[in-house]
Amino acid sequence: MASTEKELALAKMLLSGLERLSADSQWAHRASGLRGSLLKLLDQVERDGEIMNSDKARLDSLIEGGFIILENAAREISS
């Protein structure tokens, strides 16, 4: 599996995790916006059949942001 394919699969798994955040979490609102951006990008890649270089950088940024949100939401839950 190519690096980009792995990142796309990771993005899809990340979407699943972000969807599970409790609406009571202060991170849920941020997650909602990021999920929307990620879904839009994934739809575009699916339509185009490939990912452009500019989209690759955006995908990386969205994945990083998604993990930051999940980490902070987990800290919120455990405190």
What pLDDT is stored for residue 1 in this prediction? 61
CA dihedral of 11, 16, 20, 39, whole degrees rounded to 10: 60
pTM summary value: 0.89
What pLDDT is stored for residue 49 in this prediction? 86
Tell me the residue range of the domain where 34 lies: 3-19+26-78
What pLDDT is stored for residue 45 in this prediction? 92
8 Å CB contact between 37 and 55: no
Rounded to whole angstroms, how far apart are CA atoms 32 and 23?
Answer: 10
Number of domains observed in the structure of the chain: 1
What pLDDT is stored for residue 13 in this prediction? 95
CA-CA distances (angstroms) from residue 22 to 3, 18, 31, 74?
Answer: 31, 9, 10, 11
Task: List, for residues 9-68, the tens digit of each pLDDT value.
Answer: 999 999 999 999 988 888 998 999 999 999 999 999 999 988 888 899 999 999 999 999
